[in-house]
Amino acid sequence: MALTKGKHTIAEIDGVRCTVVETGLNRERTAFLKEILEFNGYTVKMEKEKAKDGSPLETTVIGLTDLIFNPMIVLYQHKLFLKDGKEVTPAYWNQWPGDWDIPYWQVKR
């Protein structure tokens, strides 16, 4: 679920019902999100996405076993942190270049 969409999606990943955080992720983005979420105490589940014919794709879907998790709400409530103690900002979450300490309403992309 990207920060631009507030829709809450539930899917089964590895046989466990999970909140879908994002889909269509490459390896780098998957590792980035997994590190943040696991550091903050969430149980992360990942699975390769499948094409309509059932063949595996190169992209990944990442989910959490916390069924009420919503990244948009958690980020704007300042509840996610980095290892150095700083808050995860929307700019950092989206991996926008520049200064990640700027408040979200002042970020210019």
Section 22-43 average pLDDT: 95
Q: Are 36 and 63 in contact (CB under 8 A)?
A: no
Confidence of residue 36 (pLDDT cuts 50, 70, 90): very high
Domain locations in the chain? 10-106
CA–CA distance, 8 with 62 (Å, rounded to integer): 13
Question: Which are the contacts of 52, defined by CB distance < 8 A and separation ≥ 6?
Answer: none
At residue 89 the predicted structure's pLDDT band, cuts being 50, 70 and 90, is confident
- Look up tokens 């992209």; give the residue: 59
- 48, β-bridge pairs: 60
